[in-house]
Amino acid sequence: MAGKNNKTILTVAVTGNLTTVQQHPGLPCTPEQIANACLESAKIGATVAHIHVRHPDGRPSMEIAHYREVVERIRDKNSDLIINLTTGPGGRLVPSKDDPRIAAPGSTLMHPLKRVEHIVALKPDIATLDLNTMWSGSAAVINTPENVAIMAREIQNAGSKPELEVFDSGDIQLAHALLEQGVLKRPPLFQIVMGVRYGFVSTPQTLVYAHSLLPQDAMWAAFAIGRWEYPMLALAWFLGGHIRVGLEDNIYIHKGELAPSNAALCEKAVRMLDDLGGELATPKEARELLGLQR
């Protein structure tokens, strides 16, 4: 299998926007904490840091100042670490129970250009591009093809590589359409997201199926949330994909035991990869594999 012959890129997703400090008291929230979590994980072997930002009290943030501080703190200490900024926030609609046409508290829907302002300003190596429209928790996530295309163009104009986040098979079909239309440049980079309710379920059969739908020239990674994080990590490697761990996706190092840190989750991933016979990509090798600009 390809995973046995190629170097594997490890991404760490250190905080996300759904995990709470009530679930994990050590969740990184301030820009300093988030940057330090990325840097500590890089020492273990992570070559990509996937970054959301928070307000100091733990609430999700979209403030450019928060992104800027995290990015500057990382670049000041480790210029090799590949920075991957999310563009996911800004696509949630909570329908009012009295009138579903009206957005209830918790809705974050905004113009697509607002969702990529930090990408244009900070020019990260990678920017995620969510292709899903689905029910998520108490909200509908809405990413229309038109809005996705607007965001894709802005991301690429900033010199960043879109990482296509796909949660179900229809998302991959949307990616094919955007590639055929020339909206997305080749080769594409996919991240297969597993375990989100009403999306791809965390089973070997599902990951094999999702992988079979990708374009032939695709670079890809996969991860699963919760207890399936490590089983799907092993399968992603076996199928030739790259891997991801972090407190955004899973807060436990073992059943019932909170992970001490993002770095601890990375350490377990590195140990598993070594046991399987895999080899981690260095930051330089990862940049070459992904075709990233410096």
Q: Band of the pLDDT at 209, cuts 50, 70, 90? A: very high
| pLDDT the model gives residue 294 | 61
How do residues 114-130 score in pLDDT, each as one tens digit?
Answer: 999 999 999 999 999 99
| pLDDT the model gives residue 6 | 84
Percentage above 90 pLDDT, the chain: 97
Q: What is the dihedral of CA 69, 42, 155, 61, to 10 degrees?
A: -40
Has residue 293 got a pLDDT over 80? Answer: no
| pLDDT the model gives residue 115 | 98
- Would you give the distance in Å from CA 182 to the centre of its chain? 23
Q: How far apart are CA 267 and CA 35, in angstroms?
A: 18
| pLDDT the model gives residue 262 | 98
In whole angstroms, how far apart are CA 259 and each of 4, 32, 101, 256?
28, 20, 41, 9
> Taking residues 170-181, what's their average pLDDT?
98
pTM for the whole structure? 0.96
In whole angstroms, how far apart are CA 20 and each of 145, 180, 260?
30, 39, 15
Has residue 3 got a pLDDT over 60? Answer: no
What is the average pLDDT value for the chain, to the nearest integer?
Answer: 96
> Taking residues 231-236, what's their average pLDDT?
98
Has residue 195 got a pLDDT over 50? Answer: yes
Q: Band of the pLDDT at 4, cuts 50, 70, 90? A: very low
Asked if 141 and 102 touch (Cβ cutoff 8 Å), the reply is no
> Taking residues 187-203, what's their average pLDDT?
97
> Taking residues 24-40, what's their average pLDDT?
98
Residue 152 zone, left/alpha/beta (φ > 0; ψ -120 to 50; rest):
alpha
Q: Band of the pLDDT at 190, cuts 50, 70, 90? A: very high
How do residues 39-85 score in pLDDT, each as one tens digit?
Answer: 999 999 999 999 999 999 999 999 999 999 999 999 999 999 999 99
Q: Band of the pLDDT at 2, cuts 50, 70, 90? A: very low
Has residue 1 got a pLDDT over 60? Answer: no
Asked if 227 and 263 touch (Cβ cutoff 8 Å), the reply is no
Domains, the chain, with CATH or none:
2-290 (3.20.20.70)
